[in-house]
Structure 1
Amino acid sequence: MKKIAVLAIVSLALMTGCAPEVGSEKWCKAMEAKPKGDWTANEVKDFAKHCIFKTTE
């Protein structure tokens, strides 16, 4: 039973580490492919900031 729990935790940690960084080209493309109804308010804000109104800092 403990082996299954450890395996589940390790698997979850590995999967969450694969998400692209917010604002990156890969993240923008992933958001464009995601249905707009599934976006959170933070994702909408970040998409507008990083993908539509790209600022040069």
Structure 2
Amino acid sequence: MKKLLLVLSSVLLITACAPEVGTKAWCEQLEKKPKGDWTANEAKDYAKHCIFKSDDDK
């Protein structure tokens, strides 16, 4: 039971540190990642938020 709690808390801490999708930090982080490793959602979000910045991304 202790191992399960340790794993779950570790996962929560790691994911909580990731920058929010669409932020400048997220765009920079994704630019450093090899494009072959991007998911389809990451590619779509990168195009939407980092290349074609929409009015609601201000």
Regarding TM over 0.5, the answer is yes
2:33 maps to 34
RMSD between superposed Cα atoms in Å:
1.0
Q: How far off its partner does 1:11 sit?
A: 1.1
Structure 1 residue 44 corresponds to structure 2 residue 23: no
8-17 or 39-48, larger mean C-alpha shift: 8-17
* TM-score (norm: length of structure 2): 0.86
Per-residue CA distance 1:10-57 (angstroms, 9 max, x = gap): 111111111111000000000100000000111111000000001123
Aligned length: 56
Percent identity among equivalent residues?
A: 59
Structure 1 outlier segments of 4+, above 4 Å: none
Structure exhibiting the larger radius of gyration computed from Cα positions: 1
